[in-house]
Structure 1
Amino acid sequence: MSGPLATEMEQRLRAALAPIRLEVINDTAQHLGHAGDDGSGESHFTIVIEADAFAGVSRLERQRMVNRALGDIPGSRVHAVAVRASAPGEPLR
């Protein structure tokens, strides 16, 4: 079951990028007691996303697109977000 922040992240990404595949994975348990673990249970995430919007776009720009879609969440409400973004037919990076 996803928490409220993971659900909000998924909604924002779906609205902004219309992904074909989207996984918002909560990695917080792997970081318990580390920097950035605020005790909320939603401080570290990995996003796996495949979208037509990424075709012909650099890895850095894909990261920026995801961050723009997430708005104030990275760095403010979440300590860390790892992004694995691809266009259809590409391997995940």
Structure 2
Amino acid sequence: MTTERISMIRERLEKTFAPQQLNIQDESHKHVGHASAGGAGHFDVEIISDSFEGKSLIQRHRLVYDAVDDIMHTEIHALSIKASTPSETSS
């Protein structure tokens, strides 16, 4: 189930943002026994995309949540997001 959920998240984020980099980690094991999760997972997303240029942190998070809206609360219980632009990550 974990790889299916990651694939669902990856598909939506790649389609929406065409990211230069995308890392998705399943962190559900850290939340075992979290009753309100209802079987949905906890995920950590690091995404780098030109789509975030000129956007505030809140706007970036909203865009990511919008991209996975159809699977929030069914497949995803919690989503930790680090959304950056390529210029913010280059040295």
Q: TM-score range by the shorter chain?
A: 0.7 to 0.9
Higher share of residues assigned helix = 2
**Superposition CA RMSD, Å:** 1.6
Aligned: 1:7 with 2:7:
yes
| Conserved? CA contact 1:36–1:43, under 8 Å | no
Counting only pairs closer than 5 Å after superposition, residues 1-93 of structure 1 correspond to structure 2 as 3-39=3-39, 43-91=41-89
Structure with greater contact order relative to length (CA < 8 Å, sep ≥ 6)? 2
Note if contact 1:10-1:24 (Cα within 8 Å) is conserved in structure 2. Answer: yes
Work out the CA distance in 1 between the residues paired with 2:65 and 2:53: 17
The alpha-carbon deviation at position 37 of structure 1 amounts to: 4.0
Contact 1:12 1:69 (8 Å CA) reproduced: yes
Could you tell me which runs of 5 or more consecutive residues in structure 1 were left unpaired when the two chains were aligned: none
Distance 2:36 2:54 in 1: 34
Unaligned runs of 5+ in 2: none
Q: Secondary structure at the match of 2:35?
A: coil
How many angstroms does 1:34 deviate by?
A: 1.8
Q: Percent identity?
A: 33
